Amino acid sequence: MKFLLFVCSCIVLCSTHASAQQDLTTRTVISGLRVPWEILWGPDNKIWMTERVGLVSTVDPETGAKRQLLDLRTVVSEQLEGGLLGMVLHPNFADSPHVFIAYVSWRNGDFYKTVQRYTYHNDTLSDPVEIFLFEPAAVFHQGCRLLIDSSRHLFITQGDSFDASTVQNDASLQGKVLRLNIDGSIPSDNPIPGNPLYTKGHRNPQGLCMLPNGVLVESEHGNDIDDEVNILEAGRNYGWPKVEGPCDLDFEKIFCAENNVREPLWSSGPSTFATAGLTWYDHDRFPALKHSLLETCLKSSKIVQIELDSTLTHVASVHDWFPYRFGRLRDACVSPDGRIFICTSNRDGVAKAPFPREDDDKILELVPIADTAVPILAVVPDTTRAYCLVGDTASFFVNVTNVGSAPLLITNVYMYGAQGQFYASHVFGPFSIDPGRTYPVRCTFAPTTDGPIRDAIVLHMMRSGTETIHEFPVVGSTIAGVLKASADTIDLDGSEMEEDEASFTITNVGTVPVHMNGFTISGAGKQFVSASFEGDSTIAPQEQRTVEVKTTPIDVPMLTATVTVTSSGYKQPRVVVRITSTTTSVSSTDVAEKPLLQLAPNPVHETLTIHFPSVVPGSFEIRTVMGCVVASVALTSSTSSVDVSALASGMYVVHTTMHGNHVSLPFIKQ
């Protein structure tokens, strides 16, 4: 049943999407933000904003000028889904200039979530008062959207903290929408006396708004299916984790009947969009959006418009806006005259390519597209060439640019004419290209026959309800240069104080000469590996070059590095050799073996004695094998004893500097 319902909704989406999309574009208000989470229209005609890093600011919607009101970066914990999240302003801000914010922090060895009230004065927020505390909190499924109704009740959405076991328990706050008085006390008319619970059975509610009739509407993330938009009724159950979406399965019907479950106003079907902010819109500025809930979505990177009927109880139609155009969309706000602003959330650590972009994150304003504006598609260069050998594959990108004055929607990408030897793909779903924006379409060349091969990349573009087709030529050839290394891994075993070296060979197994540009080394620090070769940098077909690899003194017992050969061949850069280096095995150390440094006993249980026979350094450090300092000790004599009983079992390094040289010796803590 759930699948059939989704198919029907897909038909609605696909049939209405093109006509809805044609009327709007956006302008950038401000960019370079740190994951804006809440945006509100303020009484000063500015956008009030929280950034997850811990900042509260206002943004001028005309100029993009940003003014910081509060800095909690040393207080909040931005780990995973934490940070500074929801915010709401007092409805009577002129007389009660109070701002309520929710954030996750670290206290007494655990996470906690708090809602605090601040007072606004002279462009600052001060005098915090704790209204609500949830401890311990979690790093997932915070909820944290705030709303104050006309009766001065504060609503707080609370996620299940990634633990669904207590969501149906009235004694737990997890998976609930909470209702408090504005001072933090519990209203006397709550569904359960003395309990802040207003509704239960929610997974991760991140959207909350009020309809014109005073009814609250909430949106939440589904698990693998059925994101939901719900009409909230006091004391009702919304099903999670027993019910996902409508009560349409047999066991769900039984649970719904026995537990006062209210079915969702709308659900996403057998996939999830990661619904976030929820806003009501009913202005003449954008007639196509009137009488609708605007749902910003993270994973599906779009705005879902849910138009309601005249009773505000049923869905009349559903439209998608800006799919995959700006990446993850977190929230929206509406000005009194009907302007709409949205914010992106591409720097939250989970965005997919091509996001985050250099100018993320940002606040955008929706604006109409002029009737005379047209998109124009160009590709750079006009003809793309790819090189590969038969039986191998090579990836390349075709950069498609919109050089027109209006955004365009690419609905499909494919290649034809070369019997599957070329194929193209893009990130996922339809994607939109703004004027002046370039989109890299990833292509793959997998030749099955020798010689030159021609094809075309085909893009289907939607504009004004009409689909047009654009083709750009692609030429492939099996006449290619290919470098191959003689080994994938080279092991270097030697003293930590002496250089060691090894070599591997590079062979051109292709059909044309290859120019070897050089090497890049990564993974172990600048002091670890160097690589070089002798002879001409141009390698003819079947010719070899010997690459010399050296290690210099290192500070830890084992490190790895990667040597990547860059070249003009089609596999650029694909020749990668892994280098490992292991110092002398750890054992009890004798002064004769290590005249500069002696450790005893080794391995050690409690007390490590460190002896410097020849010179006394100023201090030494004990480090993990990853280089983290766990102890630092100042020396007054040539022998020092250190209590290491508190260290976890494993390998550590004693490190110091003598005569300008780094001296290190490993030991084992048992």
Active site residues per annotation: 141
What is the per-residue DSSP string for 308-330? Answer: E-TTSSSEEEEEEESTTTSS-EE
Could you tell me which of 492, 483, 482 has the C-alpha nearest to residue 578? 492
Per 3-state DSSP, the chain is made up of helix, strand and coil in percentages (nearest 5) of 5, 50, 45
What whole-number distance in Å separates Cα of residue 96 and Cα of residue 496? 68
Q: In which element (H, E) is residue 254 found?
A: helix 250-258
Residue 595, burial from CB neighbour count under 10 angstroms (0-12, 13-18, 19+):
exposed
Q: Which is nearest to 532 in space by CA: 489, 501, 497?
A: 501
Distance, in Å, from the CA atom of 18 to the CA atom of 11, rounded to the nearest integer, reads: 12
3-state secondary structure of 635: coil
5 half-sphere exposure, CB direction, 13 A CA radius: 15
Question: What whole-number distance in Å separates Cα of residue 245 and Cα of residue 144?
Answer: 21
Residue 554: DSSP 8-state: -
Q: Which amino acid is at 232?
A: L
Task: Tell me how far the alpha carbon of residue 228 is from its chain's centroid.
Answer: 22
Is the omega angle on the peptide bond into residue 241 within 30 degrees of 0, that is, cis?
Answer: yes
- Pairwise CA distance, residues 360 & 345, whole Å: 8
Least Cα distance to 595 among 494, 492, 495, 500 occurs for 495
The C-alpha atoms of residue 385 and residue 202 are separated, in whole angstroms, by 53
Q: How far is CA 612 from CA 540, 585, 604, 660, 661, in A?
A: 55, 20, 18, 16, 14
How many other β-carbons are positioned within 10 Å of the β-carbon of residue 81? 22
Strand ranges inside 93-222, DSSP E: 98-107, 110-121, 124-134, 143-148, 153-158, 176-181, 197-200, 205-210, 216-220
CA distance 573 to 587: 41
The continuous run of DSSP H or E covering 628 comes out as none
- Which tokens in the block code for residue 315? 């869905």
Pairing of strands 384-387, 466-477: parallel
What is the side-by-side strand order in the sheet with 153-158?
143-148, 153-158, 176-181, 197-200
CA-to-CA distance for 446 and 33, rounded, in angstroms? 41
Name the token pair of 119. 């007072």
Distance CA 365, CA 340 (A): 6
| Paired residues of 564 in beta bridges | 520, 576
Going from the C-alpha of 271 to that of each of 244, 351, 422, 566, 665, the distances in angstroms are 11, 18, 31, 42, 55
Residue 21 contacts by C-beta under 8 Å, 6 or more apart in sequence?
Answer: 320, 321, 322, 409, 462
The Cα 454–Cα 330 span in angstroms is: 43
Q: E strands along 300-433, which residues?
A: 302-308, 315-321, 329-334, 340-344, 363-368, 377-380, 384-387, 394-402, 408-416, 422-425, 431-433
For 165, the 3-state DSSP assignment is helix
**In this structure, what token pair is assigned to residue 657?**
């500097």
